[in-house]
C-alpha cells in the first residue's frame, strides 16, 4: 500500500484505529511525516497520538515547524517531556529555533536539566557556525581502553546516540586524539588497545567554523560524520551528513533567491503570506526600477540622433537581452565554481583570459548571424547591419568580462557573490550596452 492509498484510508476513516496504528508502525518515519502534512489539525493530533512511542519522536523531527507547533500546543507537559527526551539534541535545537517564545519557554521547562543545558549551549552559537548544527550524542572511547571494553561502552550507550559507525577517541581531559570505525573495532582482537588501532589522521571542525566550509569538507573527504572541538581541542560534538545535506539545501536556496533579486526566506512558498512575498521581492524591484534612470538618461543623451534614425531603437531590446544573458551565464558559472571550491580569488587573470576568448567566439558567431538577418530584413542596409553587429560583439565581450569579475570582486569585499549576479549585473550590462550601441551608431551615422 503506497502513501496516497494510506492517506485516503485515513481521511475516509474507513479503517479502525488499531489498523491505522499497525500500518503506520511499519512505515518509514519520513513517509509518515509526509502523510501528516496533508491532514487538518484535528486529524493530525488524532493520528500523532496513536503513533507508537518508539517512533513518535522521529516522526515529530521530520515534520515542518507549523505542524510541530500544533502538536506541542496540544500535548500535556509530561507528553512534551517524553518527546523532548527522545529527540536528538540537534533535532531539538532545529525545532526550538522555529518556535515562538511562549512555546520555547514551555518546551524548555519540560526538558531534563542536562539536556536543556546542551540545547542552550548550542543555541548560543552563530547560525552559520559548526557549533549550531552539531549534536552532542556521539560515542567517545578512552585512548587506553581495550576493544572488548569499547564494545561494552557502545552496547551500553549506543541506543541513545545519533551514530555508532564512527567512535571518537579522547584522553581523560576530553582532548580529541583520534577516531575509530565500527569496522575496525569488529576486525580487531578483544584485548587490543584503542590507542594502537585508532586513526589519528582525522578531519575535524571547530565550533566557530563556517558551516559552508564544513559542507565542502564533507564532500571532499566523503564523510558521514565529523567531530567538532572547542578552542582547546576538546571534543564537544559531531556533525552528521543529514545535517550537512540540510545546510547545502539552505545555502543553495538562499543563493538562488539572491540571484533572482529576492530577499531570502526560510518559509515554504505556499505557507508564506502574500504580503511577505511582496515584501521579499519589493527591494530589488525598487532598486532595478530606479536604476532604469541610468538607461533612460543614456537614451535621452542620444535623443536627437534617434529621432533621425528611429529604426535604431528597434534593436535596443535585442542588444540588452543578449548582453544580460551573456553576463548571467558567466557570473553563474563563476559563482558555482567558487561555491564548490573550483575557483579562488587568485584565479582572476585565468578567468578573464578564458571569458575573453569565450566572448570573442560567441560575439563573432552571433554577430555574423545577426549581420545576415539585419541585412536581409532592412533592404540590404550594410551600414545598419555593421552597426548592430559590432555593437552586439562588443556588448557580449563586455558582458562576459563584467559577469565574471563581479562575483570575484564581491568575494574580495566579503559580500555574497550571489547579490552581484542578476540584479546588479543587469543594470551594469544594460547601461554599457546602450553606451556602446549609440556610440557606434553616432560614429557611423554622424548624428
Q: What DSSP string runs through 180-213?
A: EEHHHHHHS-TT-BHHHHSB-S---EETTSBHHH
Distance CA 329, CA 419 (A): 15
Q: State the pLDDT at residue 234.
A: 94
Instruction: Write out the H or E segment, with its range, that includes residue 240.
Output: strand 235-240
**Helix spans in 260-381 (H):** 274-301, 303-308, 316-339, 348-377
* pLDDT tens per residue across all 447 residues of the chain: 677 777 777 777 767 777 878 888 888 999 999 988 888 898 899 889 888 888 999 999 999 888 999 999 999 999 999 999 999 999 999 999 889 999 999 999 999 998 999 999 999 999 889 999 999 999 999 999 999 999 999 999 988 898 899 999 999 889 999 999 999 999 999 999 999 999 999 899 999 999 988 998 998 899 999 999 999 999 999 999 999 998 988 888 777 777 666 666 666 676 777 888 787 777 777 777 777 677 777 777 776 666 656 788 888 889 988 998 899 889 888 988 887 778 888 899 999 999 999 999 999 999 999 999 988 988 788 888 999 999 999 999 999 999 999 888 888 887 777 766 666 788 888 888 889 988 888 888 775
Q: Are 236 and 207 in contact (CB under 8 A)?
A: yes
Instruction: Write out the H or E segment, with its range, that includes residue 92.
Output: helix 89-97
Q: Are 258 and 419 in contact (CB under 8 A)?
A: yes
Q: State the pLDDT at residue 23.
A: 83
Q: Are 141 and 169 in contact (CB under 8 A)?
A: yes
Of 416, 413, 398, 262, the residue nearest 330 (C-alpha): 398
Q: State the pLDDT at residue 263.
A: 67
Q: State the pLDDT at residue 16.
A: 76
Of 205, 231, 230, the residue nearest 218 (C-alpha): 205
Amino acid at each position: 500500500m503506497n502513501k496516497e492509498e494510506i492517506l485516503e484510508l485515513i481521511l475516509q476513516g474507513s479503517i479502525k484505529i488499531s489498523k491505522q496504528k499497525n500500518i503506520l508502525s511499519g512505515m518509514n518515519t519520513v513517509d509518515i511525516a509526509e502523510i501528516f502534512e496533508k491532514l487538518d489539525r484535528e486529524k493530525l493530533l488524532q493520528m500523532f497520538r496513536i503513533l507508537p512511542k518508539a517512533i513518535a519522536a522521529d516522526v515529530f523531527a521530520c515534520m515542518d515547524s507549523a505542524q510541530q507547533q500544533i502538536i506541542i500546543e496540544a500535548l500535556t507537559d509530561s507528553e512534551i517531556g517524553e518527546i523532548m527526551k527522545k529527540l536528538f539534541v540537534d533535532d531539538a535545537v532545529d525545532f526550538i529555533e522555529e518556535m515562538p517564545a511562549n512555546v520555547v519557554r514551555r518546551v524548555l521547562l519540560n526538558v531534563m536539566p542536562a539536556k536543556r543545558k546542551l540545547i542552550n549551549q548550542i543555541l548560543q552559537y552563530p547560525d552559520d557556525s559548526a557549533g549550531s548544527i552539531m549534536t552532542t550524542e556521539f560515542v567517545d572511547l578512552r585512548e587506553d581502553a581495550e576493544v572488548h571494553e569499547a564494545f561494552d561502552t557502545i552496547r551500553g550507550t549506543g541506543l541513545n546516540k545519533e551514530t555508532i559507525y564512527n567512535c571518537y577517541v579522547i584522553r581523560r581531559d576530553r582532548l580529541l586524539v583520534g577516531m575509530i570505525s565500527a569496522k575496525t573495532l569488529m576486525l580487531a582482537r578483544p584485548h587490543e588497545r584503542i590507542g594502537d588501532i585508532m586513526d589519528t589522521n582525522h578531519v575535524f571542525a571547530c565550533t566557530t567554523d563556517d558551516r559552508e566550509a564544513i559542507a565542502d569538507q564533507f564532500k571532499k573527504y566523503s564523510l558521514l560524520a565529523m567531530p567538532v572541538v572547542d578552542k582547546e581541542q576538546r571534543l564537544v560534538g559531531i556533525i552528521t551528513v543529514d545535517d550537512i545535506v540540510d545546510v547545502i539545501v539552505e545555502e543553495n536556496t538562499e543563493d538562488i533567491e539572491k540571484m533572482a533579486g529576492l530577499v531570502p526566506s526560510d518559509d515554504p512558498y505556499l505557507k508564506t503570506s502574500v504580503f511577505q512575498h511582496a515584501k521579499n521581492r519589493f527591494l530589488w524591484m525598487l532598486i532595478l526600477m530606479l536604476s532604469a534612470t541610468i538607461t533612460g538618461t543614456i537614451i535621452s543623451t542620444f535623443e536627437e540622433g534617434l529621432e533621425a534614425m528611429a529604426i535604431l531603437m528597434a534593436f535596443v531590446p535585442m542588444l540588452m537581452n543578449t548582453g544580460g544573458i551573456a553576463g548571467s551565464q558567466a557570473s553563474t558559472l563563476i559563482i558555482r565554481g567558487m561555491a564548490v571550491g573550483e575557483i579562488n580569488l587568485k584565479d582572476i587573470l585565468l578567468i578573464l583570459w578564458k571569458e575573453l576568448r569565450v566572448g570573442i567566439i560567441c560575439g563573432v558567431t552571433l554577430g555574423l548571424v545577426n549581420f545576415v538577418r539585419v541585412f536581409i530584413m532592412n533592404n540590404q542596409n550594410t551600414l545598419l547591419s555593421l552597426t548592430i553587429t559590432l555593437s552586439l560583439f562588443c556588448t557580449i565581450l563586455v558582458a562576459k568580462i563584467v559577469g565574471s569579475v563581479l562575483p570575484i570582486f564581491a568575494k574580495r569585499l566579503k559580500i555574497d557573490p550571489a547579490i552581484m549576479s542578476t540584479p546588479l549585473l543587469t543594470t551594469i550590462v544594460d547601461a554599457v550596452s546602450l553606451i556602446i550601441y549609440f556610440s557606434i551608431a553616432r560614429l557611423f551615422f554622424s548624428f
